[in-house]
Amino acid sequence: MARKVAIRKVRFGIRLKISIIMILGIAFASALIGLAVYNQHESKIKDTILRLSGTILKGAAEDAEQYLRLTQYLDKAKDLKPRQRAAVVKAIGESQKSMAGYFSSIIKKEEILDIAFLVDVDWRDVNVNWNRRDRARYRYFSRQNGSFFELDLYTSDGRPIRGSRGRDDAQLKPTVFSYYMQNMDTSSYLAFSESRKNDGKKFVIVGIPLFSDRKDAAIYDGYRDFRRTRVMSGEDLKKFKARRQEYRDLFLGRIVERGSGVEYDLVVDTDRKKRLVLDNLIGAVDMKPLSYEKLADFRKGFSDMFNESVEGGRVPLFRLKILLASMMKDYGLALKEPLAGEDLWKNVYRHARRNSVSVETLYGVDDLALMSFRMDLSGVLGIFLLRDSFYAEMEKNRKDILNLILSIFLRATIIALFFPTFIIRNVASLEEAALDIGKGNLSRRIEMKGSDELGRLADIINLMSANLEKAQKEMLEKQRMKAELNTAQQIQSALLPDGFPDIRGLSFGAYYMAQTESGGDYYDFIPMGEGRLGLAMADVSGHGVASGLVMAMTRTLLHIHCEKNGDTKKILEMINDYLYANTASNYFVTMFFGVLDVKSLQLRFSSAGHCHALVMRNGRIQEVPAGGIALGAVATDSISRLIESKTLQLQKGDYFIQYTDGVYESFNAANEEYGLERFHRALLDGFGKDPQEIVNHVVRSVDAFTGRVPQHDDITFFIIRAG
């Protein structure tokens, strides 16, 4: 019984859904428009700040670079003479005075400027984390006279930390200083920051990087352009790799020349390269205190330890340092005067590059570029801008943009609420018609004007209902035909043997599978009295109900005639008389009929063009040719000359097999035929077993070969074992 389907009520209708979708879409579009306008305004304000501040800062950049270059030089210079030191101090003072005058005059003229600053960056060791061990100094220019001043660091209870003056800044370190230490950028940078004192103050900070040499900036600008290079071909890739190696060597060389302590390996994969590096190191040691014998010992010991340090054709720099220090300590030697300290390892690097000894490091090109940039960065010059002026403008822009978004959203929402009404009218008509069709009125048609999607949907529903009406009629017809086919199948199944004869000394096995509901194959075991058993196998041309009817007719004729006559040839001739006269010319029957004497095991048989019977004896198979022509194909006077009556003597242990061509004409997915050879092999595999076991084995063999491929013919065969 079909389950009744309830038609739900409309609660959350299409009108509401469309309105919600439109409102959400409008809200999203409004947000995007607002964000775009906001970003555009913000970008314009930031560009204005950067242009103005950049112009101001460039006016003092040259003096700031000279100031940093001289102060950093003075910090490192240990052996300057008093006159030289005084000259450097004087130059530093002049640079500071020039900056002071410039910033004091500019800040007084420009009302939006607050205070200028200078960050002294001194990062030289790649092994030191710049953020944890910050060596920068933060100096500010007084608004009144432009003079320098620095700020102290304080403890949590408000006490100044001794020696902390100028060593940190809560706004500059996490903004401009951190930016340039993490980004290889030679342009100006803008940052926003808030006061750490919880006083609500906000800052606009602009800074520009300073270098000890202005040419350094061009190197990094060039590398940034190189990173944007597009590789379009194999030749471009080759040039790109070569250029990247040049930059790698350039940055590594600049880092080494500044005595950064960067680790690298010397590639000494040949004896020549080993000798070059070894001679260079030994040549850096002052050998004068050694005797000739000691000198020879030193050279040999140094050479042996050097070779032991080489692994995979490479020697790490740190091993060379340990080796050289150990050997000089053991022999009480020192380096030659010009090569003390870092100068020695700079010389080692230069010597290796001059003599084509490759230098490898674990750092990538980008890492080397950033490290080199940090070391070339001498400071950051910047300025604080009066926050209120810029933030007030930004807040005004935000409010204007927000009002614009709300105005657009409210107007569009009103439209979204009323617009779906025009669509719902047509949808309601479709709904009513679809409900009527769903209740079974398949003749219902929808009349709707217009060429929009709803009009197209109406046409589709009309087409669907027409097709459903047609399909319903076809389904009823198919159900009627299927019922008739099932009846034919039941009748045909009743015509086949429902079991095997119970005859002492004989055992049987059989298989029948029709391709359609009603097949054209037929087999039978007919008791004929006086110890005789009729054996029949037939194959009607074609498939379906018509072939099934011809098969039933043939079976009826066989049973009628074999009761009165034991001559197999005569029986086939009589069947042919009837079939030739009463069936269409395209229906004919190949047939094998034999009469087996169950005591003597003598088989008299005749064949009307059917497959050769098989005898399986002593593990071998032999065919039993019989010839003939199909029944119903020609008149009886012609068939009498072609059909013969033959005799076959079976022995105990023999297997007699008869079959239709559907067995060996089964095909697999590759369109390969199962064939007689596979059929014979499957039969022989079961030699000595019960006939039904052999039948089952053959069926499994055919199924394994064909897989799921549908077959085009009926499959039928039986096996009889004597003894």
pLDDT digits (tens, 9 = 90+) for 39-72: 777 777 788 788 888 888 888 889 999 998 888 8
Task: Give the pLDDT of residue 135.
Answer: 76
Instruction: Over range 251-262, report the average pLDDT.
Output: 83
Question: In this predicted structure, what is the pLDDT of residue 613?
Answer: 95
| 564 torsion bin: left (phi>0), alpha (psi -120 to 50), beta (else) | alpha
The pLDDT assigned to 601 comes to 94
The residue type found at 708 is R
DSSP-assigned beta bridge partners for residue 620: 617
Other CB atoms within a 10 A radius of the CB of residue 710 amount to 7
Task: Please give the structure tokens belonging to residue 720.
Answer: 């009889």
| Residue whose C-alpha is closest to residue 49's, from 205, 185, 183, 177 | 205
Give dist(CA 513, CA 714) in Å, integer: 6
Nearest to 684 by CA among 601, 615, 593, 631: 615
Q: For every residue of 605-651, which 3-state class applies, written as one string?
A: EEEEECCCEEEEECCEEEEECCCCCCECCCCHHHHHHHCCCEEEECC
Taking the CA atoms of residue 234, residue 238, residue 240 and residue 242 in that order, the dihedral angle to the nearest 10 degrees is 180
pLDDT band with cut points at 50, 70 and 90 for residue 568: very high
* Number of Cβ atoms within 10 Å of the Cβ of 580: 18
Give the range among 149-158, 290-299, 601-610, 664-673 with minimum mean pLDDT.
Answer: 149-158
The CA distance from 515 to 715, in Å, is 8
Report the distance separating Cα 688 and Cα 674, nearest Å. Answer: 23
The pLDDT value recorded for residue 542 is: 74
Which tokens in the block code for residue 700? Answer: 């499994």
Q: How confident is the model at residue 424 (pLDDT cuts 50, 70, 90)?
A: low
Work out the pLDDT band at 165, boundaries 50, 70, 90. confident
Which tokens is 389 given? 């002026």
580 or 515: which carries more pLDDT confidence?
Answer: 580
pLDDT reported for residue 496: 84
234-257 helix and 215-227 helix, angle to the nearest 10 degrees = 150
Q: What is the pLDDT of residue 402?
A: 75
* Cα(617)–Cα(29) distance, integer angstroms: 89
- Angle CA 87–92–98, to nearest 5: 125
**What pLDDT score was predicted for residue 673?**
93
Q: What is the pLDDT of residue 489?
A: 61
pLDDT tens across 257-279, in order? Answer: 887 678 889 999 999 999 999 98
CB 695 within 8 A of CB 509: yes
* Spatial contact of 436 and 444, defined as CB atoms under 8 Å apart: yes
Looking at residue 1, its pLDDT comes to 45
Domain extents for the chain? 55-213+383-395, 225-375, 443-483, 496-722
pLDDT of residue 225: 92
CA distances from 633 to 156, 501, 591 (A): 117, 32, 12
168 in the Ramachandran plot: left (φ > 0), alpha (ψ -120 to 50) or beta?
A: beta
The pLDDT tens digits of the residues spanning 316-340 come to 988 888 888 898 898 888 888 776 6
Model pLDDT, residue 712? 78
Q: Is the dihedral of CA 312, 317, 318, 323 positive or negative?
A: positive
- Per-residue pLDDT of 478-497, as tens digits, reads 776 665 556 556 666 667 88
Token pair, residue 250, equals: 């350039």
Q: 466: part of which helix (H) or strand (E)?
A: helix 453-495
Mean pLDDT of 566-592: 89
Residue 314 pLDDT = 92
pLDDT of residue 2: 47
Q: How far does the chain reach from its first CA to its final CA, in angstroms? A: 57
| Cβ–Cβ < 8 Å for 126, 262 | yes
Is the per-residue pLDDT at 14 higher than 70? no
Q: Is the pLDDT of residue 553 over 70?
A: yes
Query: Which residue is associated with the tokens 């000691």?
Result: 294
Nearest Cα to Cα of residue 166 among 148, 183, 145? 148
pLDDT at position 483: 59
CATH class of domain segment(s) 496-722? alpha beta
Regarding beta strands 359-360 and 265-267, do their DSSP bridges make them parallel or antiparallel, or are they unpaired?
antiparallel
CB 261 within 8 A of CB 126: yes
**Which one-letter DSSP state was computed for residue 175?**
I
